[in-house]
C-alpha cells in the first residue's frame, strides 16, 4: 500500500520537473533558423593543395601562434577584393559538418580545460534544440572566412546557396536568420545587393550586437596593437596580439568595422596622441586629437615600416589604402540597404559595459601619469609598442550602443540587454526573447518559469478498512511561486490542466496473493500574480484474498 503511494508521489515529482525543464523534442511546426557568426567566429581549416591534407588552424590552442603565422597570414588582392594566404600552397575552407553548425559551435573542439572561452553559438544551439529545433531540419549554421570583405561575391554566393538549400530542405518554409556582431554587416550587405533573393527566402532577421556604424575604439587599437580573441590564462597558449595584428592588417573585414565617416556621432570618436612639438625653438608637449578620417594618416605613419618574416622573406605590411578604398565602397552599399516588405527585422544590442570609443596613446611606463604631458610619443612608428587608454561609452565592451542601435533600417523592435559582446549569445534573457520571436514557446510542456519555489499548502491522509478492502486517500496542495510572469495569458481565459495517474498491482496466479490499485488526479491551475496552484487527490484500494 505504502509503495503504491510512493510511486504516485514520485510520478508527480517527475511531472512537476517536466513543467520547469522539458526534455528535448522535435517540433515540426517551427520555421528554420540560420545562425551567422561574427569576426573570428568560424572554424577554419587549411587544405594543402598538393595532397589535400586538412588541419584546423582556427581556433586552436596548441601551436596556435605558429599556425597563424604560417597558414593565416595573408595579402589583399585589389583586383579581386580577396585576401589570399601568404602560403600559396594552402587554401582555407570552412567545415560544413552538422549542416554548418560544427564550424560555429565550439571553435576548438579538442580543448577540455577552459573550453567555455572558445564557445561561440554553443549555448544557443543547445537551447534551441531543447525548444524543438533539429539540426539539419530546422537549425543550420553559416561559417565563413572572416578575413574577407563582407561583400566578397564568393561569400555572398555561398550565403545565397545556403538560403536556397535550407528553404528546400524545410519544404518551402521561410528562414529566420540570426546574426551576431560582424555577421550583421554580412547579412546587411547581402540584403542590399540581393534584396530579391533575401525576400524570397527570409522571414525574419534578428541582428545581435551588430556594429552597424563601426566599433571605433576597438578597431583603432586593433590597427596599432592587435587584439586578443580570448582573455585570462588561456591567452598565454593562444595567438599573440602581435601575430593577430599582422593578420588583421590585411583583412578587409576589419577595415569595414572602422567608425562610419558620415554617421552623426553624439561625440566623434577620436584618436589622441601625446606628442612633443617645437614652438619658437622650445619643446612643448601637446595632446593631438584626430577624427576618424584624420586618423588614417596616423595609421599610415605608425605602420610605415611594419613587416613580417614569412619563410625567410621580409614582406611589408603597411596600413593598406587599397583595402580602405574597398571598405569605403562597402559602407556605401551598407548605407543603401533596406528591409524588403515581406521581411521583419529585429535588433538586440548589448549595454551596461564600458566600451572603447576614443583611444589615447602615451608611453606604457608612465600610464599612471596620464595627461601630465611628461611622456610624449616622439616617433609615431613607436605607437605599436605603446599601451592605449580609452574614453569609454555605454555598450557591450566592443560595440557602442550608439553604433549597434543605428541600423538605419525599419525595425520591428530594438532591445538593449546588459551583457558582454560574445557573452550575450548565452544570456537567458536573450534566449527568452528569441524564443518568443521564433514562435517556439507554444509547446504544451514548456513552462516559462525560470526560478520557482514549491510550498506545500495542505496535506491530508486517511486510511480505513471497509468490507475486506483497505482504502487510503491522500490529498496534497502546492503553490508554485515565480517572480517571472511575463507572457502569461489572462487567467480568466484559461482552464485548469487536469492529468491522471493509475498504478495497479495484480495478485498473479496465487489466489491468496493481494491485489491493489491506486489512482490520482493532478490539477494544475493557471498562473495568477506569480503563483500557480497544484492539487493532488489520490486513492489507493487493496484487497486481501
| 41-45, 310-314, 378-382: segment of lowest average pLDDT | 378-382
- Is the confidence at residue 39, as pLDDT, over 90? yes
> Which residues are annotated as catalytic?
181, 396, 421
What is the pLDDT at residue 32? 98
What is the pLDDT at residue 274? 85
> Helices 183-193 and 153-169 meet at what angle, rounded to 10?
90
Give the model's confidence band at 450: pLDDT under 50 very low, under 70 low, under 90 confident, else very high: very low
Q: Tell me whether strands 271-279 and 353-362 are parallel, antiparallel or unpaired.
A: parallel
Average pLDDT of span 270-286: 82
Give the model's confidence band at 381: pLDDT under 50 very low, under 70 low, under 90 confident, else very high: confident
Alpha-carbon gap, residue 105 to 244, rounded angstroms: 22
C-beta atoms surrounding 509 within 10 Å: 6
Give the model's confidence band at 492: pLDDT under 50 very low, under 70 low, under 90 confident, else very high: very low
Average pLDDT of span 511-518: 62
Q: Which bin fits 63, alpha (ψ -120 to 50), beta or left (φ > 0)?
A: left
What is the tens place of the pLDDT at every residue in 288-324? 999 999 999 999 999 999 999 998 999 999 999 999 9
Residues 6+ apart with CB under 8 A from 468: 543, 544
Average pLDDT of span 370-397: 77
Residues 6+ apart with CB under 8 A from 355: 217, 392, 393, 394, 395, 396, 397, 398, 399, 400, 401
Alpha-carbon gap, residue 146 to 460, rounded angstroms: 65
- Residue 59: asked if its preceding bond is cis (omega within 30°), the reply is yes
Average pLDDT of span 374-382: 74
What is the pLDDT at residue 237? 65
Alpha-carbon gap, residue 480 to 449, rounded angstroms: 9
* Cβ-contact 70, 245 below 8 angstroms: no
Q: Distance of CA 192 to CAs 117, 332, 344, Å?
A: 34, 10, 15
Average pLDDT of span 403-429: 94
C-beta atoms surrounding 24 within 10 Å: 11
What is the pLDDT at residue 454? 47
Q: What is the mean pLDDT of the chain?
A: 84
- Is the confidence at residue 506, as pLDDT, over 70? no
C-beta atoms surrounding 31 within 10 Å: 16
Question: 207 - beta bridge partners?
Answer: 179, 347
What is the pLDDT at residue 523? 79
Residues 6+ apart with CB under 8 A from 70: 87, 310, 311
Give the model's confidence band at 184: pLDDT under 50 very low, under 70 low, under 90 confident, else very high: very high
Give the cell for residue 335: 548605407
Residues of the chain within CATH 3.40.50.1820 domain(s) are 33-262+306-452
| 22-36, 192-206, 296-310: segment of lowest average pLDDT | 22-36
Top-confidence residue, 260 or 536: 260
What is the pLDDT at residue 18? 58
State whether residue 139 is helix, strand or coil.
Answer: strand
What is the pLDDT at residue 491? 42
Question: 374 - beta bridge partners?
Answer: none
- Is the confidence at residue 455, as pLDDT, over 70? no
Average pLDDT of span 517-540: 75
DSSP H stretches of helix in 170-311: 183-193, 195-201, 216-225, 241-248, 252-255, 292-302
Give the model's confidence band at 12: pLDDT under 50 very low, under 70 low, under 90 confident, else very high: low
CATH of domain 33-262+306-452: 3.40.50.1820
What is the tens place of the pLDDT at every residue in 153-179? 999 999 999 999 999 999 999 999 999
Give the model's confidence band at 545: pLDDT under 50 very low, under 70 low, under 90 confident, else very high: very low
Top-confidence residue, 504 or 354: 354
Amino acid at each position: 500500500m505504502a509503495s503504491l503511494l510512493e510511486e504516485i508521489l514520485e510520478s508527480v515529482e517527475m511531472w512537476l520537473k517536466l513543467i520547469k525543464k522539458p526534455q528535448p523534442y522535435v517540433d515540426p511546426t517551427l520555421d528554420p533558423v540560420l545562425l551567422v557568426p561574427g569576426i573570428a567566429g568560424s572554424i577554419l581549416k587549411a587544405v594543402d593543395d598538393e595532397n589535400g591534407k586538412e588541419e584546423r588552424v582556427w581556433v586552436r590552442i596548441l601551436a596556435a601562434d605558429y599556425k597563424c603565422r604560417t597558414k593565416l597570414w595573408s595579402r589583399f588582392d585589389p583586383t579581386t577584393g580577396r585576401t589570399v594566404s601568404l602560403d600559396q600552397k594552402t587554401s582555407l575552407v570552412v567545415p560544413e559538418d552538422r549542416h554548418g553548425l560544427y564550424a560555429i559551435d565550439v571553435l576548438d573542439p579538442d580543448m577540455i580545460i577552459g573550453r567555455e572561452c572558445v564557445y561561440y553559438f554553443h549555448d544557443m544551439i543547445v537551447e534551441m534544440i531543447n525548444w524543438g529545433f533539429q539540426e539539419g531540419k530546422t537549425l543550420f549554421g553559416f561559417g565563413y572566412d572572416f578575413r574577407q570583405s563582407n561583400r566578397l561575391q564568393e561569400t555572398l554566393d555561398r550565403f545565397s546557396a545556403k538560403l536556397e538549400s535550407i528553404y528546400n530542405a524545410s519544404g518551402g518554409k521561410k528562414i529566420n536568420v540570426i546574426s551576431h556582431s560582424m555577421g550583421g554587416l554580412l547579412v546587411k550587405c547581402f540584403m542590399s545587393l540581393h534584396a530579391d533573393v533575401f525576400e524570397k527566402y527570409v522571414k525574419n532577421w534578428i541582428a545581435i550586437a551588430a556594429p552597424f556604424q563601426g566599433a571605433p575604439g576597438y578597431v583603432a587599437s586593433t590597427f596599432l596593437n592587435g587584439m586578443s580573441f580570448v582573455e585570462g590564462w588561456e591567452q598565454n597558449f593562444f595567438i599573440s596580439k602581435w601575430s593577430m595584428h599582422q593578420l588583421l592588417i590585411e583583412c578587409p573585414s576589419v577595415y569595414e568595422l572602422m567608425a562610419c565617416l558620415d554617421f552623426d556621432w553624439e561625440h566623434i570618436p577620436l584618436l589622441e596622441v601625446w606628442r612633443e612639438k617645437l614652438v619658437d625653438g622650445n619643446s612643448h608637449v601637446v595632446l593631438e586629437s584626430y577624427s576618424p578620417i584624420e586618423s588614417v594618416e596616423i595609421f599610415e605613419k605608425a605602420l610605415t615600416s611594419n613587416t613580417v618574416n614569412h619563410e625567410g622573406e621580409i614582406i611589408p605590411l603597411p596600413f593598406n589604402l587599397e583595402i580602405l578604398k574597398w571598405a569605403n565602397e562597402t559602407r556605401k552599399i551598407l548605407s543603401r540597404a533596406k528591409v524588403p516588405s515581406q521581411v521583419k527585422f529585429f535588433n538586440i544590442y548589448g549595454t551596461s559595459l564600458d566600451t572603447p570609443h576614443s583611444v589615447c596613446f602615451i608611453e606604457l611606463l608612465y600610464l599612471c601619469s596620464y595627461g601630465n604631458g611628461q611622456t610624449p610619443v616622439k616617433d609615431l612608428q613607436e605607437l605599436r609598442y605603446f599601451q592605449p587608454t580609452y574614453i569609454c561609452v555605454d555598450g557591450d565592451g566592443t560595440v557602442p550602443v550608439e553604433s549597434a542601435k543605428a541600423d538605419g533600417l525599419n525595425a520591428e523592435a530594438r532591445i538593449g540587454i546588459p551583457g558582454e559582446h560574445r557573452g550575450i549569445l548565452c544570456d537567458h534573457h536573450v534566449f527568452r526573447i528569441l524564443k518568443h520571436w521564433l514562435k517556439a514557446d507554444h509547446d504544451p510542456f514548456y513552462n516559462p518559469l525560470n526560478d520557482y519555489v514549491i510550498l506545500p499548502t495542505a496535506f491530508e491522509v486517511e486510511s480505513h478498512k471497509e468490507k475486506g478492502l483497505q482504502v487510503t486517500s491522500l490529498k496534497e496542495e502546492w503553490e508554485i511561486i515565480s517572480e517571472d510572469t511575463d507572457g502569461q495569458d489572462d487567467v480568466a481565459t484559461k482552464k485548469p490542466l487536469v492529468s491522471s495517474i493509475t498504478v495497479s498491482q495484480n495478485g498473479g496466479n496465487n489466489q491468496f496473493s493481494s491485489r491493489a490499485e491506486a489512482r490520482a488526479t493532478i490539477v494544475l491551475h493557471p498562473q495568477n500574480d506569480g503563483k500557480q496552484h497544484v492539487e493532488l487527490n489520490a486513492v489507493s484500494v487493496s484487497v486481501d484474498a
